[in-house]
Amino acid sequence: MAGSSTRWATGSSPRSPRRGRAWPPRCRCSRPWRGTHQLKDLGRPEQIFQLSAPGLQAQFPPLRSLGNPALPNNLPAQLAPFIGRERELTDVRALVGSCRLVTLTGAGGAGKTRLGLQAAAELLDGSGDGVWLAELATVTDQDQVAAVVTGALQIAAQPGRPALDTLADALGPQDILIVLDNCEHLIGACAKTAEAILQRCPKVHLLVTSREPLGIAGETIYRVPSLSLPAPGESGEAVAAACDAVALFAARAREQGAGLALDADSIPLVVSVCRRLDAMPLAIELAAARLRSMSLAELAGRLDQRFRLLTGGSRTALERQQTLRATVDWSYSLLTGAEQVVLGRLSVFAGGFDLAAAEAIGGSGDIDAVEVPGLLGSLVDKSLVVAEPAGTGLRYRLLETIRMFAAERLAETGEEAAAARRAHCAHYLALAEATAPHLAGPQQAGWFGRLEADQANLRRAAEHAAGEPDGTADVLRFGVALWRYWDARSRHEEAAGLLVPVLSRPEAGADPALFAEALVFAANHTMFTDLPTSLQLAEKADEVADGLGDDRLLILSREMLCWAYDFAGQPERARPLGAEAVARARQLGDDELLRMSLDAYALTVDVAASGPLYAEALACAERSGDLFYEQVLHNNAGWAALEMGDIPGARAHMEASIRATEALGIPHPSSQRTWA
């Protein structure tokens, strides 16, 4: 066994243990086999080389074949090749060699059974007392688990004696690996059986497959990951074709007679299909089977109806493995009522979420927020929620297939679903508003990252508010709280698409101060893509702010109107507005407002006069620790210096802009001015 000194399988069965026999050391060399794998003895020729040297065994060791009587086992021959999983096989073999109980966990369809069987088959090498499979998928009685394992190992039952005692006594002296497959629906009995074996049979190793861990002492959990896909940013036919998910899809498609060729046209679609199916083997195989009756493009375009589409499993497979819906429904049926409710509520998230968010959305009605961490942990254990390290904590997510299934269940509850969406919206609006004050300070990089982690949830929450009859004010609050984040991440089109339609609603002006501020930031976001709309919004903001007589709003609206007029080629109208905004901001003593006003005003004056304005604006940004706008101002000041022919000055500003950008971990502005 690679990476381990533990080996199984020689010429005795569990009923006739071999004692005191030591195999001589062997030295073997075989041509490496790469690509697809099959359990042994499936008709594939294997080329073996034997080294000859004084003191070495002269004979070939027993061939590693399931049909070889020297390798006792009951592992089933597999009819389809095993694709990829090189790293996972190595990991599992090493774990089985060093740990007596290894449990492979993962969502339904993750390939736990296939990986476990392949790893077990590759551990057959002629030492130990064999590798034996106990299949529990069809067992429904908890009390029958020990008896089923006993029968699988060909151990004779003893009338009147508990099967577990008979099993433990027979296995006591054995050096054996037992695979307990599909334990999730019998988790208590499987845990009891495994614990008894570990305690009473010191040489026995157990490899378990289950959608949740057994939860006993001595257990090592290996979470079976999705199949590999190209990483974000990776591209190219060779990269994609080398990924396990793509290789499995292509292999299964060929088996269906689809004749799929991996080329520049098909690979992006195959990757997209596999990614949307969470790179889960069962879903990929079901999808590949559909290519018998539809094109790859048609398949990709219908994955939103995946539960109706992916139904073409093997007729001889377990019923719960014949369709994607049945696979997920099986896991769902094993949950408690409270777990089902919380899973449904978690389906409202887009992307990942943290514990605080889960508590806010999951804890309502009959479920208190303090119960949510325990229920969430149970859903993680049962492979329905994925937990991933994020900084010093964890973030959670649902695989897309699980999310869609849970969302269907949630939708059936009516008001419960509406309440979950409202709670989601309220939580992320509170997050946006709590974060906003920190986005201009010295810790802004971390706060930008905090919002970036929840960018999909923020978008979904704002879109939910926009779709609600009484959600107009919430959309405007999102716009005001997130404008700096959207600006830093150049998400102007997204922001404008959210804000502009809502600003035209009759109720948008119910809170004039909120309305004016939202108009200012909407004007900022549209300035790059729709200048007439930006001008209109800025003029409206100035009108509302003027009516309120609020200095802060007047400064904001006039510096924005200054930008808009200058962009529109009307510097004579822009200049006095910029000068007024600067004067008001100086009088108010607000560094942020003064920085914004100086940046706008500097654009309207003669380039030779802009230097002192940029210097003052930079001093404002430095006092507040605002690195993002330091890089913006250095960028703009660098362009001004370049226009004056001051090459050293321009270089110094651009280098300072790059340093600030690198400190923030964001892309540096291109060869255009950046405005805010």
Contact 153, 134 (CB under 8 A): yes
What does the pLDDT read at residue 257? 84
Asked whether residue 312 falls in the same domain as residue 243, the answer is yes
Contact 626, 600 (CB under 8 A): no
| Ordered alpha helix ranges (H), 217-280 | 237-241, 244-255, 266-276
Q: How far apart are CA 171 and CA 166, in angstroms?
A: 9
Residue 46 has pLDDT above 90, yes or no: no
Spatial strand order in the sheet of 205-209: 131-135, 177-181, 205-209, 101-105, 219-223
| pLDDT above 90: percentage of residues in the chain | 69
Partner residues linked to 181 by β-bridges:
135
Contact 237, 126 (CB under 8 A): no
What does the pLDDT read at residue 315? 66
134 in any annotated domain: yes
Q: How many CB atoms lie within 10 A of CB 479?
A: 27
The tokens 């066994």 sit on which residue?
Answer: 1
What does the pLDDT read at residue 558? 96
Tens of pLDDT, residues 466-494: 999 899 999 999 999 999 999 988 899 99
Q: How far apart are CA 361 and CA 372, in angstroms?
A: 9
Asked whether residue 95 falls in the same domain as residue 177, the answer is yes
Residue 354 has pLDDT above 70, yes or no: yes
597 in any annotated domain: no
Q: What are phi and psi of 385, to 5 degrees?
A: -130, 135
The mean predicted confidence, pLDDT, of the chain is 87
Asked whether residue 74 falls in the same domain as residue 176, the answer is yes
The CATH number for 379's domain is 1.10.10.10
Name residue 214's amino acid.
Answer: L
65 in any annotated domain: yes
What does the pLDDT read at residue 334? 92
Q: How far apart are CA 408 and CA 245, in angstroms?
A: 27
574 in any annotated domain: no
Asked whether residue 255 falls in the same domain as residue 106, the answer is no
Asked whether residue 287 falls in the same domain as residue 189, the answer is no
Least confident segment among 69-73, 105-109, 153-157, 432-436: 69-73
The tokens 């042994």 sit on which residue?
Answer: 40
Count CA atoms within 13 Å of residue 643 on its CB side: 14
Q: Is 397 helix (H, G, I), strand (E, B) or coil?
A: strand
Name residue 182's amino acid.
Answer: N
What does the pLDDT read at residue 25? 31
pLDDT band at 51 (very low <50, low <70, confident <90, very high): low
The CATH number for 204's domain is 3.40.50.300
Tens of pLDDT, residues 296-311: 999 999 999 988 888 8
Asked whether residue 152 falls in the same domain as residue 36, the answer is yes
Asked whether residue 90 falls in the same domain as residue 199, the answer is yes
Tens of pLDDT, residues 250-290: 999 988 888 788 888 889 999 999 999 999 999 999 999 99
The two structure tokens encoding residue 513:
């101060």
452 in any annotated domain: no
What does the pLDDT read at residue 56? 59
Asked whether residue 285 falls in the same domain as residue 402, the answer is no
Asked whether residue 214 falls in the same domain as residue 272, the answer is no
Calculate ∠ Cα 449-672-521, nearest 5°.
55
Residue 69 has pLDDT above 90, yes or no: no
What does the pLDDT read at residue 282? 92
Pairing mode of beta strands 36-37, 82-83: antiparallel
Asked whether residue 80 falls in the same domain as residue 129, the answer is yes
293 in any annotated domain: yes
Domain boundary among 326, 352, 376: 326
Average pLDDT rounded to a whole number, residues 158-162: 89
Count CA atoms within 13 Å of residue 352 on its CB side: 16
pLDDT band at 241 (very low <50, low <70, confident <90, very high): confident
Instruction: Give every CB contact of residue 11 below 8 A, 6+ residues apart in sequence.
Output: 18, 69, 70, 72
Tens of pLDDT, residues 22-40: 332 333 333 333 334 444 4
Length of the chain measured in residues = 676
Instruction: Give every CB contact of residue 220 below 8 A, 6+ residues apart in sequence.
Output: 95, 99, 101, 102, 103
The tokens 């007589």 sit on which residue?
Answer: 549
Domain boundary among 291, 308, 326: 326
Domain boundary among 388, 413, 438: 413
Domain count, the chain: 4
> Minimal CA–CA distance to 423: which of 514, 338, 346?
346
Tens of pLDDT, residues 3-23: 443 434 333 344 333 333 333
Q: How far apart are CA 557 and CA 561, in angstroms?
A: 6
What does the pLDDT read at residue 31? 31
Question: pTM here?
Answer: 0.82
Q: Which domain holds residue 98?
A: 28-223
Tens of pLDDT, residues 358-377: 999 999 888 999 999 999 99
Asked whether residue 191 falls in the same domain as residue 321, the answer is no
Q: How many CB atoms lie within 10 A of CB 188?
A: 12
Asked whether residue 252 falls in the same domain as residue 369, the answer is no
Instruction: Give how far Cα 2 sits from Cα of 97, 124, 125, 203, 509, Å.
Output: 9, 11, 11, 19, 70
Residue bearing the bigger pLDDT, 550 or 234:
550
What does the pLDDT read at residue 311? 85
Instruction: Give how far Cα 328 sits from Cα of 126, 400, 412, Å.
Output: 39, 12, 17
